[in-house]
Amino acid sequence: MTEEQENKDNETPEEELVDQLDSGETENSDEEVTPLSVAEAEINDLRDKLLRAVAETENVRRRSEKEKADAANYAMTNFARDMLAVGDNLHRALESLPENEELSDNVKTLIEGVNMTGRELNNIFERHGIEKIDPKGEAFDHNHHQAMFEAETDDPNGTVIQVMQVGYKIKNRLLRPAMVGVSKGGSEKAHEGIDTKA
């Protein structure tokens, strides 16, 4: 290895850039290159890389905080959705009881137990941020209600006239829409902004 090659291997990046500029290997041969301008260019490049790295780190931190909050709020969504079926069955069991019929003490005790279980289930739902959607008499909202039928009534157009199955939401996320019947025709004074075709 010659002395010139050895010196070339030991050059710093700034010296290499100066050598390239002197030999005309760069595009802008009109600009004068000094060690100071090379250092400033490298500082600007490093500053740009640092700012990009800081911004990316901040984005990752924000994203992971949002994912953590969503996991805390909605981790039990599937379990809660399955538990709604249990509540529905308790409600159906109570509705299926014959009216005006004399029941034995054992059956009355069983009914009271089913009632208490249903109340406790509703209390647990409330403790965990699961809210019931029971919109009878309210304006139809396609974000929370699912229209099962329309019927002509005297109620204003787009009013929920019957709730066939209550809905539920957890925090701000819908678990299950309320299955409803909606008024059609009726009063000309319809609810504003109602989309009954959604």
Q: What is the pLDDT along the chain (198 residues), one digit of tens a residue?
A: 555 555 555 555 555 555 655 554 444 445 677 888 889 999 999 999 999 999 999 999 999 998 888 887 788 888 888 899 999 999 888 888 877 778 888 888 988 999 999 999 999 999 988 999 999 989 999 899 999 999 888 888 889 999 999 999 998 889 999 999 999 876 554 444 455 454
Rounded Cα gap, residues 117 and 112, in angstroms:
9
Name residues whose C-beta falls within 8 Å of residue 162's C-beta, 6 or more positions apart in sequence.
136, 180, 181
Give the rounded distance of the alpha carbon of 192 from its chain centre.
27
Which of 49, 13, 50 lies closest to 33 in space, CA to CA? Answer: 13
Strand partners, 181: 149, 162
User: What is the reported pTM?
Assistant: 0.58
CB of 127 closer than 8 Å to CB of 170: no
